[in-house]
Structure 1
């Protein structure tokens, strides 16, 4: 019995750490499947866009956030923005507007959590319970009468409803190993372009795909969420080939001539923090 309890606790900690949900499709998913085709309503993301442009800096191909430069005014602006998002009738929006809404809400919540707990070295240091590694399961917002956590947003709304593996390059976990937090808010107009940009930036960067002494090393995202990218390692590698530059594409194609599996997965949970205080020039 003791071993069973230890096993269950271990699974819960593992699930919390890596953002997995152990639940089947829920009432949450069913509720948020509703949308309003053709709705002209647009959510206002200007405040979030301004915060991103002010605090994101690009260093060696990684978008980093200058948490130390966030002012009291910035915190209030972020708080007001998240409160505003909670007033939106999301089910009355059209699909792309909803998609952008959920990505922005998720990312804004993560930044707010980091700022509230700053300084820290990793988001995993934040705990809301005995077996919690990170804030993923904590109920953080209240939208249309439903309490939602980061896990709810990613795994019970974004992934099952929108069924787009580029979601993994859009939602940001405030970590060096994570795909870039883009330096602008998502909107229905820029959604497709930003989703593609996120995929290209991440997969073409060493934290996404790299070779070391002939070994193929890939981000743990492609292990944790393998079902979103292919049925096996070969299919995942074929997927990666679509986004990498020509040199890396050649390495991957040559690799597949003799190997069909990925050698190693890795992920860096250290905080995606920038020490710079001037906006990057690529925005």
Structure 2
């Protein structure tokens, strides 16, 4: 009996999570337009992510070899052999070396923050809205890490009392937000059943979900989040079978508000994406222990110091070692990233993220919203519907003329 009581106490402690229930959604952010065909363009962000992100390859349980000292020194790097190879990486070291590259991230951030000024967000469909908030969240994280890099351990930086998640760092459409406000006050408040959203929230450290090589869009949202969930759950940074216990990421503990009955709900969730041969291990485990944490920044080699030198520890070698199975050598990736700064232009804040045929609609929508208030829904008319509407308007006008006569 006392063992069950201890388990219950543990799960209650594990289920503590952040909330932003006091955040009030602006009117223009409430609801959505299900049949809206308006989309946001992320071509600039796609280019940057494709150049700056290295994929870690298929999910794997393989551990890293223990660190060893190089010739002529007793010093060696410390890292978690269970998790160090998991998750995609960003070339933060290149952003640090070349500030003009980091400036591109800042410009994209400013452009995304301006989108709610250009358009009432509720005129977008649900998937487009979620994709927008995920992209803004992730760009802010990258931009803020650029400011403190090469900081290696991000625990205090991310979760501290005045850390990355709690500070009002974002100004979206004139509204000051923290990253927690985006996650809990916007996304979870509007879409409480969309658990997969947590896998789109990149937080900069190995123990968080991966950054993608492309931006989220309404079209790729479901597929991308499912891919990220599968990747996270089937690598050691997300879960790890361990006999009578089944270890899971502390990330789940910090997001326990998505799992009201923490142990039962999380078990059911994990079964949806866990490798089929490991599901029996989860079923047999008596407890879930949320103790897997790796707060190491997701860079490539910048925070791995080169003790003693050696041919295998230069930047290119380390880059190539991480990107095993990649079709593009590391040196080309770095060259592409350098090219990024001179080729990617930040989008204009004046409807720059929308196609030309959407601009007029957005302007009319904004005018109606400002002058009439309330929620505005934009619907594309077919040619037949437009003709019928014009005919009805013409006949109505003729009838009014007769009455005036």
TM-score range, shorter chain: 0.7 to 0.9
Name the counterpart of 1:117. 148
After superposition, the Cα gap between the structure-2 partners of 1:147 and 1:263, relative to the gap in structure 1 and judged at 3 Å, is: closer
Q: Structure 2 residue aligned with 1:28, among 12, 25, 28?
A: 25
Listed one character per residue, the Cα deviations across residues 188-208 of structure 1 (whole Å, up to 9, x for unaligned) are 110010011111111111111
Q: Structure 2 residue aligned with 1:75, among 85, 102, 117?
A: 102
Pairwise CA distance, 1:254:
3.0
SS in 1 for 2:110: helix
Name the counterpart of 2:176. 147
Pairwise CA distance, 1:110:
0.1
Listed one character per residue, the Cα deviations across residues 70-93 of structure 1 (whole Å, up to 9, x for unaligned) are 233322221221111122123332
Pairwise CA distance, 1:139:
1.8
For CA contacts below 8 A with separation 6 or more, give which structure has more relative contact order. 2
Pairwise CA distance, 1:125:
4.6
Q: Structure 2 residue aligned with 1:105, among 117, 128, 136?
A: 136
Whether the aligned pair in 1 keeps the contact of 2:205 and 2:294 (CA below 8 Å) is: yes
Listed one character per residue, the Cα deviations across residues 116-150 of structure 1 (whole Å, up to 9, x for unaligned) are 1111013345489xx73522122222222211111
SS in 2 for 1:183: coil
Whether the aligned pair in 1 keeps the contact of 2:86 and 2:237 (CA below 8 Å) is: no
SS in 1 for 2:103: helix
Q: Structure 2 residue aligned with 1:86, among 90, 109, 113?
A: 113
Unaligned 5+ residue runs, structure 2? Answer: 1-15, 57-84, 302-317, 329-405
Pairwise CA distance, 1:19:
7.3
Whether the aligned pair in 2 keeps the contact of 1:125 and 1:134 (CA below 8 Å) is: yes
Name the counterpart of 2:343. none
Pairwise CA distance, 1:179:
1.3
After superposition, the Cα gap between the structure-2 partners of 1:227 and 1:76, relative to the gap in structure 1 and judged at 3 Å, is: closer
After superposition, the Cα gap between the structure-2 partners of 1:30 and 1:20, relative to the gap in structure 1 and judged at 3 Å, is: farther
Whether the aligned pair in 2 keeps the contact of 1:166 and 1:199 (CA below 8 Å) is: yes
Unaligned 5+ residue runs, structure 1? Answer: 1-17
**Does the alignment pair 1:50 with 2:47?**
yes
After superposition, the Cα gap between the structure-2 partners of 1:19 and 1:118, relative to the gap in structure 1 and judged at 3 Å, is: farther
Name the counterpart of 2:242. 212
Pairwise CA distance, 1:56:
1.4
Name the counterpart of 1:231. 261
After superposition, the Cα gap between the structure-2 partners of 1:183 and 1:172, relative to the gap in structure 1 and judged at 3 Å, is: same
* Root-mean-square deviation over aligned CA pairs: 2.6
SS in 1 for 2:25: helix
